[in-house]
């Protein structure tokens, strides 16, 4: 699943599952720790977690669901999201924060450019204030 550069820069992960016509979306942000689970666009569970493993449990109709996030890899922040239904694993998806060397190069160039621009701007403002 290809992620946008913005998702990669902000360390956001969006996992999409389909079960019996139900669209289950599990979103996580590695920087803020915010995790949200939605069923058919309705939030069923939301929490802020600063851990390498977290779980969300919710019930839809007669079915008990569980979403599990597992973070591995400290440099490239790999995340696995597992969907369980009634205690049984239905599907597992895996993503990396940086998917390829080209994405890594883009990210470094963007961050370098932002640092250069912000450094120049702060220096300019400081010099203007000093007279």
Can you give the residue ranges of every domain in the chain? 6-98, 100-131
Q: In the predicted model, is pLDDT for residue 100 greater than 70?
A: no
Q: What percent of the chain has pLDDT over 70?
A: 80
- Please report the pLDDT score of residue 29 as a whole number: 84
- Please report the pLDDT score of residue 6 as a whole number: 59
Q: What integer is the mean pLDDT of 116-131?
A: 86
- Please report the pLDDT score of residue 88 as a whole number: 96
Q: In the predicted model, is pLDDT for residue 43 greater than 60?
A: yes
- HEC readout, the chain: CCCCHHHHHCCEEEEEEEECCEEEEEEEECCCCEEEEEECCEEEEEEECCCCEEEEEEEECCEEEEEEEEEECCCCCEEEEEEEECCEEEEEEEEECCCCHHHHHHHHHHHHHHHHHHHHHHHHHHHHHHC
Q: In the predicted model, is pLDDT for residue 8 greater than 60?
A: no
- Please report the pLDDT score of residue 96 as a whole number: 78
Q: Which range among 54-58, 59-63, 90-94, 121-125 shows the weakest confidence by mean pLDDT?
A: 121-125
- CATH topology for 6-98 is Lipocalin (2.40.128)
Q: In the predicted model, is pLDDT for residue 13 greater than 80?
A: yes
């Amino acid at each position: 699943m290809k992620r946008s550069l913005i998702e990669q820069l902000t360390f956001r992960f969006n996992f999409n599952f389909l079960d019996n016509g139900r669209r289950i979306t599990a979103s996580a942000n590695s920087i803020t720790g915010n995790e949200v689970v939605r069923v058919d666009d309705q939030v069923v569970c939301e929490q802020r977690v600063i851990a390498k493993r977290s779980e969300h449990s919710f019930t839809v109709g007669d079915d008990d669901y569980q979403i599990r996030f597992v973070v591995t890899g400290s440099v490239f922040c790999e995340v696995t999201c597992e969907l369980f239904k009634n205690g049984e694993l239905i599907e597992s998806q895996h993503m990396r924060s940086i998917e390829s060397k080209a994405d890594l190069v883009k990210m470094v160039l963007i961050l370098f450019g932002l640092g250069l621009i912000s450094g120049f701007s702060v220096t300019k403002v400081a010099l203007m204030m000093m007279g």
